[in-house]
Copies of this chain bind each other. A is one copy, B any other.
Amino acid sequence: MATGRTHRPATRSRGIPEATVARLPLYLRALTGLSERSVPTVSSEELAAAAGVNSAKLRKDFSYLGSYGTRGVGYDVEYLVYQISRELGLTQDWPVVIVGIGNLGAALANYGGFASRGFRVAALIDADPAMAGKPVAGMPVQHTDELEKIIKDNGVSIGVIATPAGAAQQVCERLVAAGVTSILNFAPTVLSVPDGVDVRKVDLSIELQILAFHEQRKAGEESAAAEAAPLPPAARAAGQADRKGPDGDVPAVMPA
């Protein structure tokens, strides 16, 4: 996804596919659950079900990490938890800063899952001077002026941006200049960053739009003939009509 390109293929990289990396946290969570219930071993089948993927995929994923299972038996839960944690870099501590302490930023600061696994909120930063000093999630908000100092003093390499869209790029640049190399962006903007910096984005409205797309298709599905046509003027029903020229039916909304 938004993973920065340009990682040398030259060096014998571990070569774990990105899609696999994205699933490791899922496996880890499922395993943690089993671990808490003191389950000693799992089969790929069981673990896959718990993680919501299919077992072939899971086995293939694990095969990139090494041979951590036992044929005829399954995987040792504790051992796998450790191996995946290590692979993900969760055996070390990652100080994180959250920039933009509005509704969302505050919610993130309060989010428990944050601290749980290797991540520690090192600071909350906001541009509003009125916020400075106010405690959020038991931690005083600091002013943006301190950003560079905070990053350096705490050795922060991961930053979370929860500012309004307009401020995001600028905040991003300051974070990067101060040494942050991974950014989780909640602002609805495309961030541009130099090579070597990873950006991942979380965007509510994008997710909703994707759902709406599928939802719409469901609605038009059964009633292919039935006129369940949406409201818009250009009600070319979501059927099988293959579009070609826009010339035919021009929506009212359009400037011809």
Taking Cβ atoms with an 8 Å cutoff, the residues of A that contact B are 2-4, 7-8, 11-15, 21-22, 24-26, 28-30, 40, 50-52, 63-70, 76, 78-79, 82-83, 86-92, 94, 96, 102-104, 106-108, 110-111, 113-114, 116-119, 157-158, 181-184, 188, 190, 192, 196, 198, 200, 202-218, 221, 224, 229-238, 240-247, 249, 251-255
Which listed residue (B40, B188, B234) contacts A82, Cβ 8 A? B234
Query: In the complex, what residue of chain B is closest to A3 when comparing beta carbons?
Result: B214
CB-based contact B79/A254 at 8 Å: yes
| 5 nearest CB pairs, A to B | A89-B216, A66-B243, A52-B190, A103-B107, A182-B211
Give A254 Cβ to nearest chain B Cβ, in Å: 5
CB-based contact B241/A210 at 8 Å: no
CB-based contact A7/B218 at 8 Å: yes
CB-based contact A237/B190 at 8 Å: no
Query: In the complex, what residue of chain B is closest to A105 when comparing beta carbons?
Result: B107
Query: Across the interface, which residues of B come within 8 angstroms of A13, CB to CB?
Result: 217, 240, 252
Copies assembled: 2
Query: Across the interface, which residues of B come within 8 angstroms of A117, CB to CB?
Result: 205, 209
CB-based contact B214/A182 at 8 Å: yes
A24–B207 alpha-carbon span in the complex (Å) = 11
A29–B82 alpha-carbon span in the complex (Å) = 41
Q: Can you report 21 A-B residue pairs in the complex whose CB atoms are below 8 A from each other?
A: A7-B217, A7-B218, A11-B252, A12-B240, A25-B209, A67-B245, A68-B238, A76-B255, A78-B232, A79-B241, A82-B235, A82-B253, A83-B232, A86-B234, A89-B217, A106-B107, A108-B204, A113-B204, A114-B204, A116-B205, A158-B208
Beyond A66-B246, A68-B246, A79-B232, whether A11 also contacts B221 by CB under 8 A is: yes
CB-based contact B211/A184 at 8 Å: yes
Query: Across the interface, which residues of B come within 8 angstroms of A69, CB to CB?
Result: 241
Beyond A8-B221, A113-B188, A158-B208, whether A246 also contacts B65 by CB under 8 A is: yes
Extra pairs beyond A21-B213, A202-B204 (9, CB < 8 Å): A25-B210, A29-B188, A52-B192, A79-B238, A82-B234, A86-B251, A94-B208, A119-B212, A183-B211
